């Protein structure tokens, strides 16, 4: 080994690090935040982006358009080879900069407004009740992921988009391949192409029928048929919504329930409806399920927290540890369902801040108390050490969670 490569392995830590506790970010991230706050790390391809760990700095990166989200820019720190290759294949507005990003996002804003999502609440409540009825009628133990956490957001986003839920084995398995950093490049690109092809078919049906009853229909009639965007671009928007719309919320439901069950007193407050909104924000903050940092690349030299990030250098804005910043959150590792204020960055910040956050909030605000009320004696049917956590997935959570009551 040469002196240089020795330096690489000893002085530049690998990111992401392994967790010591399934509910907390790796301890090394806390040490970096306390000691240096911004430093280089090594990622899977040997490149060395800057890791940004303080809450203020993470927000500064995400609010500054000199940091590009375009993963085709040289120096962009991709999460894995598969994610990098796939994105080359299918441009998605989450990976575009303004004005191109805003052009696509604007078409969807009214679909996800507070008012539009409030109107969906009765449908979400009914879906929750039906799923809990199904769970109550099942033999125990029940896998909470398959019985409740995954179907709830999948059913909701399917209804919004106009994707037949009956196709869920197909789209959930492809989505699973997309968020797995251990997927092969070929597998990941194939999964993305199959989903795109499927969504293009649904959009073509709406183009032919002229139906504007669902989101794919509105995209088809108002934006594809008018020549504003292509069918493939509409399908790429649909893919982002379908995957982001169910993977994240599903994992928040299952992992959030598991964490709440560790603390019966706070779970009781949620069950009694006393701190539901606070609990949702607190679980979002503590769990930060999109746990591999927000990825950007500098397009100009930028001074940040005492370092100069040069044009072309990658940045990982580590929201998972920014959400534990003791300068912003008192007793940051504690679960406090009454924490206020709670300015977490679990939904990101800046122009790419989560489009679906109101929807996710309502789903979680309905799901946790309803589950805890229906099954007041709910408990996990396996030791914590045996729970399979999603360490290699872009969206953290649990693969399965056997429960009884």
Residues in contact with ligand HEM by CB under 6 A are: 69, 93-94, 105, 157, 240-241, 244-245, 248-249, 252, 289-290, 294, 346-348, 352, 354-356, 359-360
Q: How far is the CB of 259 from ligand HEM (least distance, A)?
A: 14
The dihedrals phi and psi of 362, each to the nearest 5 degrees, come to -65, -45
Q: How far is the CB of 377 from ligand HEM (least distance, A)?
A: 27
SS (H, E, C) 171-227: HHHHHHHHHECCCCHHHHHHHHHHHHHHHHHHHHHHHHHCCCCCHHHHHHHHHHCCC
- Total count of residues recorded for the chain: 405
Check: CB of residue 280 under 8 Å from CB of residue 378. Answer: no
| DSSP per-residue codes, 19-55 | PSSTTS--HHHHHHHHHTSEEE-B-TTS--PEEE-SH
Q: How far apart are the first and last CA of the chain?
A: 56
Kindly tell me which of 91 and 184 has the beta carbon lying closer to ligand HEM: 91
Kindly tell me which of 31 and 123 has the beta carbon lying closer to ligand HEM: 123
Residue at shortest CB range from ligand HEM: 356
Kindly tell me which of 69 and 132 has the beta carbon lying closer to ligand HEM: 69
Kindly tell me which of 147 and 286 has the beta carbon lying closer to ligand HEM: 286
Q: Render the burial of 323-343: b for 16+ CB within 10 Å, e for the rest.
A: bbbeebbeebeebbbebeebe
Kindly tell me which of 69 and 401 has the beta carbon lying closer to ligand HEM: 69
Number of alpha carbons in the 13 Å side-chain half-sphere of residue 52: 28
Kindly tell me which of 187 and 361 has the beta carbon lying closer to ligand HEM: 361
Cis amide bond preceding 16, omega within 30: yes
For residue 72, give both structure tokens.
Answer: 């085709």
Beta bridge partners of 50: 40, 315
Q: How far is the CB of 357 from ligand HEM (least distance, A)?
A: 6
Q: How far is the CB of 4 from ligand HEM (least distance, A)?
A: 32
Kindly tell me which of 367 and 378 has the beta carbon lying closer to ligand HEM: 367
Q: How far is the CB of 103 from ligand HEM (least distance, A)?
A: 11
Kindly tell me which of 102 and 136 has the beta carbon lying closer to ligand HEM: 102
Q: How far is the CB of 204 from ligand HEM (least distance, A)?
A: 22
| DSSP per-residue codes, 347-362 | T--GGGS-TTHHHHHH
Percentages (nearest 5) of helix, strand, coil residues in the chain = 55, 10, 35
């Amino acid at each position: 080994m040469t002196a240089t490569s020795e330096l690489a392995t000893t002085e530049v830590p690998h990111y992401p690090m392994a967790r010591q506790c399934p509910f907390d970010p790796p301890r090394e991230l806390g040490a970096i935040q306390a000691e240096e706050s911004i430093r280089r790390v090594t990622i899977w391809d040997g490149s060395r982006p800057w890791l940004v760990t303080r809450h203020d700095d993470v927000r500064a990166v995400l609010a500054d358009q000199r940091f590009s989200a375009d993963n085709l820019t040289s120096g962009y720190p991709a999460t894995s080879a598969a994610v990098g290759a796939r994105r080359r294949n299918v441009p998605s507005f989450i990976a575009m900069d303004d004005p191109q990003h805003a052009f696509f996002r604007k078409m969807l804003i009214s679909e996800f407004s507070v008012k539009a999502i409030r109107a969906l609440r009765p449908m979400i409540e009914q879906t929750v009740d039906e799923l809990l009825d199904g769970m109550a009628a099942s033999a125990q133990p029940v896998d909470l992921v398959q019985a409740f956490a995954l179907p709830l957001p999948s059913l909701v986003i399917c209804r919004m988009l106009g994707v037949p839920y009956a196709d869920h084995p197909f789209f959930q398995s492809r989505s699973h391949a997309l968020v797995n950093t251990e997927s092969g490049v070929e597998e990941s690109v194939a999964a993305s192409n199959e989903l795109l092809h499927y969504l293009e078919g649904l959009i073509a049906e709406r183009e032919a029928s002229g139906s504007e009853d669902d989101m794919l229909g509105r995209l088809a009639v108002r934006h594809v048929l008018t020549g504003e965007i292509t069918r493939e671009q509409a399908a790429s928007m649909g893919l982002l919504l379908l995957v982001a719309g169910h993977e994240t919320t599903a994992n928040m439901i299952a992992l959030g329930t598991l964490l709440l069950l560790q603390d019966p007193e706070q779970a009781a407050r949620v069950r009694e409806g006393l701190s539901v909104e606070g609990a949702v924000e607190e679980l979002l903050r503590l769990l930060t399920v999109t746990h591999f940092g927000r990825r950007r690349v500098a397009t100009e030299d930028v001074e940040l927290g005492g370092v100069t990030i040069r044009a072309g250098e990658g940045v990982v804005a580590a929201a998972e540890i920014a959400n534990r910043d003791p300068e912003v959150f008192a007793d940051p590792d504690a679960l406090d369902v009454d924490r206020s204020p709670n300015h977490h960055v679990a939904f990101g910040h800046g122009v790419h801040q989560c489009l679906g956050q109101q929807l996710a909030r309502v789903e979680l605000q309905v799901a946790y108390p309803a589950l805890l009320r229906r099954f007041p004696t709910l408990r996990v049917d396996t030791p914590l050490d045996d729970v399979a956590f999603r360490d290699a997935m872009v969206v953290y959570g649990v693969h399965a969670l056997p429960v009884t009551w």
